[in-house]
Structure 1
């Protein structure tokens, strides 16, 4: 196994994934406005665009995980990357918003990157080093988030559709790169069941939740995803309302936070997890996240926000540690299936939470309590911590 080239490709893959997403974020509103002609319609269709992706990802993630177990990681990952390229190309070329939603939903159906990358890392990394490897993956995501909006804003100022061509080109280039350098991490196992029952996302998630350790870990992941998605959906609105921050201030603060998180993931998480162990590091990170969210609800100064961002960065150790713990609790012949179920659970949060959090924040403003939504997110993060504490050691 050529472990170094394989891991390097995975890091490039997740970086380009997030870079492509970051490139298009600044120009999606302009594209939707161009297609619909009205700001209200653009906002409505943008919501449908995100929900269609999340819904199809939920429906197909367990199947993609099983395909990765049955036929190997490499073909599923390359097909997923190609599907992403087709999606961005459709964004650049499609003349109607309905066709755009259809293509984006199809991309959600092929969104197996996270599932396969996590399974691949578990295949090629010794258990004692998995947390560090997962942290590097998280660092690559963070760096892509930092670079993407900057590049997207520059390209979008030339032509609103140019960033989508750039994102598609990066995705297709990554497919070609992976075709040349990516070895298979685990030969496919043709005994892995493929049936309507096995592919049913509800059945796949239910099967995982019934297992004592995996069930608690996946439930903890879901609660953490709810908290994380609430923070992502509301944070910009919160600081804009509370402190009258402009877009430049928000953008710089988010970029600095993402960069700090990427550096922390790359340099500090591995040593911390090796010293504390997966379980203790996961609990520590989850607890830091709960504290940061709960304190944000009562933040009254920008300095408090900066401090809580730093606490949240330290909380990033929990993500890699929990994923490492999850991989240890999973058999080598079912990494794809279990990670597919986990991705499906995350897709539920990504589909529902932004809509619900937005409605809750609007309701909170009428009662002059904008921090209430963060208090709710902190409750989910606390529940995630409790589930981790109650789980058996790996």
Structure 2
């Protein structure tokens, strides 16, 4: 019997959350291409500029889990609002900086406030039906592409008014975004003030139902950890405390492996991001404008992949299949880029990388959120922190390889890291393996 399915309407507040992420990343995109030249006005050399970029990621690395845990306790909305106002303050400090140490202070404040993406992802997980979670995460991921395209363009226009103007524009955008969130963003975390299920008995019921679902999931012989079309929604049944604890430990182990995969993957991809402009100039003769146009094109493709392909692909391949496909695409894209295969090779490499990363980013977040339960904010915060650490390590390592080993080596090593990440994905459950083997 053919069952006709209708696309469900978006949950209340989804587009407010999406706008929050998009505007936050537009602000980041405004600052990113302007910051190095701005820092040179304070006498900063290339090494100091690299350290300046690392200071943002290090601050984000430390504070994202703190914000995530706090969002589980007091709610997503206040943390998102605090984060946006913090971004506005950091941008203002950067714009008004009169000394290099003030510039560092502004970037550190911005990094401390950079938890809005992980908390927004937790909010999406709160309001998403299980079978629609990957689709909604994909749409949130498309906001990265919007920021990647619109941010540099806005920054280039703002810079016509002077080197400080882009930072003031970024601050204004963040502040307006925070004011809109105060007015329109609904609270999505259950069990906190402002959510309709805030009563203690209903919170306890939700936690008991979640534990029961974990216990029942352990007894579904054919349920894969990551594989299979869609997401299995286990029925409720008898709860045995030791079984719930055992399943919780299994889920934690899977989440940790997924975060390690995210870390390794971001090391590889951030190395590409940090050195591609050098490769474009040295190998292909592209100037800054042409290279910026390439990055804008990558952003456009990311919007298409994360906004339109993530849902259908995960529905067909499952989360595990989508993650494998994304890592394989990244691996081959980086491998092609490691060799000088002409313009055709460049186009193929960039398409593979954009497709792979476009699928990986939201699907990894969806996979983590689907296993985190009531601790969604904490685990997504750890995932973002892992990404922050990777964005410190990846560019430093790739730059060293590019300079001292050769321009193709960052991508060859990145391809190896993508292959390593492929082996680290959580495996099928033993029961599922037996069913498949049979």
Q: Counterparts of 1:147-162 in structure 2 under 5 Å? A: 147-162=150-165
SS of equivalent residue, structure 1 residue 35: coil
Counterparts of 1:159 and 1:283, CA distance in 2: 46
**Counterpart position of 1:23:** 30
Unpaired runs of at least 5, structure 2: 1-8, 194-199, 201-247, 433-438
Select the residue among 341, 351, 361 that pairs with 1:319.
361
Q: Counterparts of 1:96-135 in structure 2 under 5 Å? A: 96-135=99-138
Select the residue among 57, 63, 74 that pairs with 1:71.
74
1:313-363 alpha-carbon deviations (Å, 9 max, x no partner): 3212232222212111111x1001111111221111112221221111101
Select the residue among 259, 266, 271 that pairs with 1:218.
259
1:258 pairs with 2:261: no
Select the residue among 178, 181, 186 that pairs with 2:181.
178
C-alpha contact 2:331 2:416 (8 A) present in aligned 1: yes
Select the residue among 314, 325, 344 that pairs with 1:303.
344
Deviation at 1:107, TM superposition (A): 2.3
1:33 pairs with 2:40: yes
1:11 pairs with 2:18: yes
SS of equivalent residue, structure 2 residue 286: coil
Counterparts of 1:26 and 1:63, CA distance in 2: 29
Deviation at 1:48, TM superposition (A): 2.3
Deviation at 1:5, TM superposition (A): 4.6
Counterparts of 1:313 and 1:355, CA distance in 2: 22
**Counterpart position of 1:328:** 370
Counterparts of 2:269 and 2:249, CA distance in 1: 22
Q: Which protein, 1 or 2, shows the higher relative CO under an 8 Å CA cutoff with sep ≥ 6?
A: 1
Counterparts of 2:428 and 2:329, CA distance in 1: 18
1:1-39 alpha-carbon deviations (Å, 9 max, x no partner): x96452111211121112112212332233212223xxx
**Counterpart position of 2:207:** none
RMSD value, Cα: 2.3
Counterparts of 2:257 and 2:47, CA distance in 1: 36
Deviation at 1:127, TM superposition (A): 1.5
SS of equivalent residue, structure 2 residue 275: helix
C-alpha contact 1:217 1:391 (8 A) present in aligned 2: no
SS of equivalent residue, structure 2 residue 41: helix
Unpaired runs of at least 5, structure 1: 192-206
**Counterpart position of 2:289:** 248
C-alpha contact 2:138 2:306 (8 A) present in aligned 1: yes
**Counterpart position of 1:80:** 83
Deviation at 1:226, TM superposition (A): 0.8
Task: Return 154-163 or 45-54, whichever deviates more.
Answer: 45-54
Instruction: Tell me: CA distance 1:167–1:217, structure 2 relative to 1, closer, same or farther (3 Å).
Output: same
Instruction: Tell me: CA distance 1:260–1:3, structure 2 relative to 1, closer, same or farther (3 Å).
Output: closer
* TM-score (normalizing by structure 1): 0.88
**Counterpart position of 1:386:** 423
Q: Counterparts of 1:319-358 in structure 2 under 5 Å? A: 319-331=361-373, 333-358=374-399
Query: Size of the alignment, in residue pairs?
Result: 369
Instruction: Tell me: CA distance 1:208–1:89, structure 2 relative to 1, closer, same or farther (3 Å).
Output: farther
Counterparts of 1:314 and 1:106, CA distance in 2: 33
Deviation at 1:255, TM superposition (A): 1.1
Instruction: Tell me: CA distance 1:161–1:5, structure 2 relative to 1, closer, same or farther (3 Å).
Output: farther
Counterparts of 2:186 and 2:319, CA distance in 1: 28
1:165 pairs with 2:168: yes
Q: Counterparts of 1:224-235 in structure 2 under 5 Å? A: 224-235=265-276
C-alpha contact 1:127 1:324 (8 A) present in aligned 2: no
Counterparts of 1:211 and 1:385, CA distance in 2: 19
Counterparts of 2:309 and 2:82, CA distance in 1: 33
**Counterpart position of 1:203:** none
C-alpha contact 1:216 1:391 (8 A) present in aligned 2: no
Counterparts of 1:3 and 1:72, CA distance in 2: 21
C-alpha contact 1:213 1:391 (8 A) present in aligned 2: no
Instruction: Tell me: CA distance 1:25–1:62, structure 2 relative to 1, closer, same or farther (3 Å).
Output: closer
Larger Rg: 2
C-alpha contact 1:290 1:378 (8 A) present in aligned 2: yes
